[in-house]
Chain A
Amino acid sequence: MNTPMNVATRPLGSRRDTQRLLAPEHRGHQGPVDDLPALSLDALKALAEESGLTGRGGAGFPTAIKLRAVAEARRAPVVVGNAMEGEPLSDKDAVLLNRAPQLVVDGLLVVSHALRAKRTILAVGPGIGTEAVQAAADRRRERTLVEIARLQGGFVAGQESALVNQLEGRRAVPRDPLVRVTTRGVDGRPTLVLNAETLAQLALAARHGSAWYRSSGTHDDPGTSLFTVSGAVSRPGVVEAARGTRLGDVLAPAGPLDPVAVLVGGYHGAWVPAAALDTRLTHADLRRYGATVGAGVLHVLGSGRCPLRAAAEIAGYLADESAGQCGPCINGLPRMADSLRRLADRRPDPRLPAEIDHLRRLVIGRGACAHPDGTARMVASTMHVFANHVAAHLAGWCPTDERGPR
């Protein structure tokens, strides 16, 4: 798979007061063994509600709502841990599975027990080691069997319904969202898909309670998150930080090198300009940039790189990663990427911004999954945050070049 940017897997640690998932006591095979609480369904629902836990896979959906949807169904559900990590800029699930595997397994077991699940599956994407998590699952074998499924990757392969499809032996493409996987998923059963980090957070919340969980982060954005820092930094890797920490402080351990902007939330995310590095990483604070914490991807754009070129490469990658099912995505994304590339190439065509805007609006909401919407979000943010670059490119020059190579 050809991706525009790469990340090196390495935990950069975290400040002592925010060490939870990456705390030394959860390391590898020394993870906690005996103190796994067996919560009732009501207790788990209350915990998810009171802790305010939200999904760490990208969409940030409240875990309590998903849990309730599956609990209301009549049939015994299937519980799936999602460690597909299809986002090329994200490495936190790989780090988590290697560094704190017992937390991921225990989160699965707590949920499966409360829901009396029929099957408990951990879906792992390519390139992610399963040795540690298999050992962690083996240690709990007498409580619940966790099936570890090694699956094929791709940007959309981790999308819930695409994941369910692949687990059932079908192609890893999203389903029409009219019937959600919480209603009909794996084996036709209601299926609860939770990201690996969400499960690890839940395992800690189950042990220590919702008040403890809320003692980090902000009122509206409680807890910590894992962040994968990449791009123009001297030490790319994974950092744990409390929600609400300033963007610049989360980047600091990675050593940013003359940043111009940060792509927050990954390829489907949005840019926060370097002038706003004091922005707090909460949904409320990021909203003005059209960004969300998402899966915690922070990609630093250095001053030596043309932002329009970077965005065009990402858009081209996303167009290639379309599942190829939905017409607007198949037709619209390559055209949008091509228009952005022509802008990056400094074609003096004054119609380009309007064309990009038209294509962006055209694809939104017209697909089985959020891939077109996410691509449109990144492109809209590029045109807005780098408006000066757009104007310069249309006039035939690039501000990055004028500064000279780094």
Chain B
Amino acid sequence: MSRIHIDWTRCDGHGACAELLPELLTSDEWGFPVSRTGERDPQVPRQLTEHARHAERSCPLMALRRV
């Protein structure tokens, strides 16, 4: 099972990830992703693997990675 890791030095709060992975991420009032589980690098359940891949590809700053 993979985790998603946000490189905060790259993230600019575009918000694509939170839209594509609402089960794992929400946005703070400035648009930056917030882990719903409270984990620093939230685990991706198997059924969300495709969505996580999509979110990874959709980040315009390549700030989100599956690790």
Q: Are B10 and A327 in contact (CB under 8 A)?
A: no
Q: Are A178 and B67 in contact (CB under 8 A)?
A: yes
Q: Are B9 and A327 in contact (CB under 8 A)?
A: no
Contact of A366 among B8, B12, B31, B67 (CB under 8 A): B8
Tell me the nearest residue of chain B to A175, going by C-beta: B9
- CB-CB < 8 A to A174: which residues of B? 9
**B56, chain A: closest CB distance, angstroms:** 14
Q: Are A366 and B7 in contact (CB under 8 A)?
A: no
- CB-CB < 8 A to B31: which residues of A? 327
| A329-359 residues at the B interface, CB under 8 angstroms | 329, 331
Known contacts A178-B65, A366-B32; decide if A327 and B5 are in contact (CB<8 Å): no
Q: Are B32 and A328 in contact (CB under 8 A)?
A: yes
Q: Are B34 and A326 in contact (CB under 8 A)?
A: no
Tell yes or no: B13 within 8 A of A by CB.
yes
Q: Are B13 and A327 in contact (CB under 8 A)?
A: yes
- CB-CB < 8 A to B35: which residues of A? 365
Tell me the nearest residue of chain A to B11, going by C-beta: A327
**B63, chain A: closest CB distance, angstroms:** 9
Tell yes or no: B50 within 8 A of A by CB.
no
Tell me the nearest residue of chain A to B67, going by C-beta: A178
Interface size class of A (residues with CB under 8 A): 10 to 19
Tell me the nearest residue of chain B to A366, going by C-beta: B8
Known contacts A178-B65, A178-B67; decide if A362 and B9 are in contact (CB<8 Å): no
Q: Are A368 and B8 in contact (CB under 8 A)?
A: yes
**B31, chain A: closest CB distance, angstroms:** 8
Tell yes or no: A173 within 8 A of B by CB.
yes
Tell yes or no: A367 within 8 A of B by CB.
yes
Contact of A367 among B8, B13, B28 (CB under 8 A): B8
Q: Count residues of chain B with CB under 8 A from any CB of chain A.
A: 19
Tell me the nearest residue of chain A to B28, going by C-beta: A362
**A364, chain B: closest CB distance, angstroms:** 9
Q: Are A328 and B28 in contact (CB under 8 A)?
A: yes
Tell me the nearest residue of chain B to A323, going by C-beta: B9
Q: Are B30 and A178 in contact (CB under 8 A)?
A: no
Q: Are A328 and B8 in contact (CB under 8 A)?
A: yes
Tell yes or no: B54 within 8 A of A by CB.
no
Q: Are B67 and A176 in contact (CB under 8 A)?
A: no
Interface string of B23-58 (1 = CB under 8 A from A): 000001011101100101000000000000000000
Known contacts A362-B28, A366-B34; decide if A325 and B40 are in contact (CB<8 Å): no
A278 to B4, CA, bound (A): 45
Q: Are A327 and B30 in contact (CB under 8 A)?
A: yes
- CB-CB < 8 A to A367: which residues of B? 8
- CB-CB < 8 A to A175: which residues of B? 9
**A357, chain B: closest CB distance, angstroms:** 15
**A72, chain B: closest CB distance, angstroms:** 20
Q: Are B5 and A178 in contact (CB under 8 A)?
A: yes
Q: Are A325 and B34 in contact (CB under 8 A)?
A: no
- CB-CB < 8 A to A362: which residues of B? 28, 34
- CB-CB < 8 A to B67: which residues of A? 178
**B41, chain A: closest CB distance, angstroms:** 9
Q: Are B8 and A178 in contact (CB under 8 A)?
A: no
A327 to B30, CA, bound (A): 8
Known contacts A178-B65, A365-B40; decide if A327 and B7 are in contact (CB<8 Å): no
Known contacts A327-B12, A327-B13, A365-B40; decide if A176 and B7 are in contact (CB<8 Å): yes
Q: Are B28 and A368 in contact (CB under 8 A)?
A: no
A208 to B56, CA, bound (A): 53
A176-B8, A327-B12, A328-B28 are known contacts; what are 14 more A-B pairs with Cβ within 8 Å?
A: A173-B9, A175-B9, A178-B7, A178-B65, A327-B8, A327-B30, A331-B30, A362-B34, A365-B38, A365-B40, A366-B6, A366-B8, A366-B34, A368-B8
12 A–B pairs (Cβ distance < 8 Å), ordered by A: A173-B9, A174-B9, A178-B65, A326-B11, A327-B8, A327-B12, A327-B32, A328-B28, A331-B32, A366-B8, A366-B32, A366-B34
